Amino acid sequence: MTQMKMEFDGHSLITPSAIADELVAAKEERFDEHLAIGKGELALLLELARQQFAKGENPTKVIDRVTMSLHEIRHRLQPRVWQELVPFVQEHAVSEYFLQDPLTRWSWDKPRGYSGDARLLDFIYRHDSVTEDVAGASDLGKALFEYTSTAPSSLANWDRRDILAGYVDEVAARTGAGTEVLSVAAGHLREAEYSKAFREKQLKRWVALDQDPISVGTIARDYQGTSVEAIDGSVRAILTGRQHPGTFDLVYASGLYDYLVDKVAIKLTQRCLDMLKPNGTFLFANYSYPILVDGYIETFMNWQLLLRSEADMWKIIHACVDKDEYETGVFFGKNRNIVYGFIKKRS
Ligand SMILES: C[S@@+](CC[C@H](N)C(=O)[O-])C[C@H]1O[C@@H](n2cnc3c(N)ncnc32)[C@H](O)[C@@H]1O
């Protein structure tokens, strides 16, 4: 995939292979030797887990040990060695057990054709809409779901939902009845259920833009007759200027920058700033390095993310704004698994 295509094709950015192609690391010294050592270590770890599952040992202990070991091994190995070993992990017989977890299964199957869709978020949120799927899982699957849906990364998503709703409420309290909000890559807009301003009908409009017609349809159905306007639209359409949803007091993107390389992230940030009214705020979120489930999600969930540090967030902000015109900041959520950047127009 060429850089031009990556830059403007907002859809293809979210497949694991597209991200892997973009991030392919160079081979370092003694690559073959490190590859053989890594393979041996992973083979032992996975085979032990398979035997423990087969014997009916405590699934929480098994998945926790595998998750922590994959994290540790991923960080210790040369990046290219880890990348080469991902398919080896995915093809191991133990995956049959992990895939009984409905959350892992949904991520692996990718029924909507791409990673990190809004229904995956519903599994993570333990939303009512997934109750039946969880009830239909095996006992082992249910136990694994308890672990994956309450892992620190999942709790960071719950926290993110609260932070987004809090921003909407804060902007509405400051701006009053004319408040207009835009969510870019809105998914199912579950944060709306947590916003007091939304519940109390204090918003003029909350535009929810997403490239997935099923998600747009779900929002339109769930929020019919409210201030929410669901629109079919992509990052690509925003970048190329084909989409003009208006101007807003708050624009935010959550669960999106994790798939955007810096160049695209900077361009999108600039476009989002163009859509701000005076005193408007732009907020963006990204998974960050303390995340412990990185090895598990890249392998058994086949879900590739671009993690960002505090410095990476500042890099995007500094590429977009002049200090005098904007107030800026970077902060972490509760368990530091997600980092946030904000840019507020001074007038
Ligand atoms: C993980 S969900 C995030 C949902 C919600 N914002 C949240 O934080 O819970 C990611 C969403 O991003 C959308 N998305 C991914 N790439 C996109 C793009 N290029 N343009 C528009 N939407 C995109 C997907 O359709 C999906 O609904």
Predicted local distance difference test score (pLDDT) of residue 219: 98
pLDDT for residue 10 is more than 60: no
pLDDT for residue 109 is more than 90: yes
Residue 56 CB: number of other CB atoms within 10 A?
A: 9
| pLDDT band, residue 12 (cuts 50/70/90) | very low
Mean pLDDT of the chain: 93
Going from the Cα of 123 to the center of ligand 1, the distance in angstroms, rounded, reads 15
For residue 113, count CB atoms less than 10 angstroms from its CB and return exposed for 0-12, middle for 13-18, buried for 19 or more: exposed
Predicted local distance difference test score (pLDDT) of residue 28: 80
Predicted local distance difference test score (pLDDT) of residue 6: 37
Nearest CA to ligand 1 atom 20: 234
What is the residue-wise DSSP string for 96-133?
HHHTTSHHHHHHHH-TTSSSS-HHHHHHHHT-GGGHHH
pLDDT for residue 19 is more than 70: no
| pLDDT tens by residue, 152-179 | 999 999 999 999 999 999 999 999 999 9
Residue 101 CB: number of other CB atoms within 10 A?
A: 29
- Tell me if 121 sits within 8 A of 157, measured CB to CB: yes
Nearest CA to ligand 1 atom 14: 185
The rounded percent of the chain whose pLDDT value lies above 90 is: 87
Cβ neighbours of residue 293 closer than 8 Å, sequence gap 6 or more: 67, 71, 148, 151, 152, 153
More confident residue, 8 or 77: 77
Predicted local distance difference test score (pLDDT) of residue 255: 96
Tell me the mean pLDDT in the region 45-67: 98
Going from the Cα of 112 to the center of ligand 1, the distance in angstroms, rounded, reads 12
Going from the Cα of 142 to the center of ligand 1, the distance in angstroms, rounded, reads 26
b/e map of 114-148 (b: 16 or more CB within 10 Å)?
A: bbbbbbbbbbbbbeeebeebbeebeebbbbbbbbb
| pLDDT band, residue 22 (cuts 50/70/90) | low
More confident residue, 23 or 144: 144
Give start and end residues of each alpha helix (H) in the chain.
Answer: 3-8, 16-22, 31-54, 59-76, 79-90, 95-98, 102-109, 118-125, 131-135, 139-148, 152-175, 196-199, 213-222, 235-239, 262-274, 294-299, 310-320
Bridge partners of 182, per DSSP, are: 207, 251
Tell me the mean pLDDT in the region 46-55: 98
Residue 224 DSSP class: T
Q: What is the residue whose two structure tokens read 């997600």? A: 338
Tell me the mean pLDDT in the region 235-259: 94
Amino acid (1-letter code) at residue 91: E
Taking the C-alpha atoms of residue 291 and residue 275, their distance in angstroms, rounded to an integer, is 32
* Strands 228-232 and 205-210, sheet pairing: parallel
Give residues (CB < 6 A) around ligand 1. Answer: 10-11, 14, 116-118, 121, 160, 185-187, 190, 210-212, 215, 234-235, 254-256, 259
Q: 154-292+301-345 — its CATH code?
A: 3.40.50.150
Taking the C-alpha atoms of residue 43 and residue 157, their distance in angstroms, rounded to an integer, is 32
Q: Is 246 left (phi over 0), alpha (psi -120 to 50) or beta?
A: left
Tell me the mean pLDDT in the region 240-253: 95
| pLDDT tens by residue, 140-154 | 999 999 999 999 999
Predicted local distance difference test score (pLDDT) of residue 21: 66
Nearest to 230 by CA among 212, 254, 210: 210
| pLDDT band, residue 90 (cuts 50/70/90) | very high
| pLDDT tens by residue, 203-220 | 999 999 999 999 999 999
Going from the Cα of 61 to the center of ligand 1, the distance in angstroms, rounded, reads 32
Predicted local distance difference test score (pLDDT) of residue 15: 56
Predicted local distance difference test score (pLDDT) of residue 26: 81
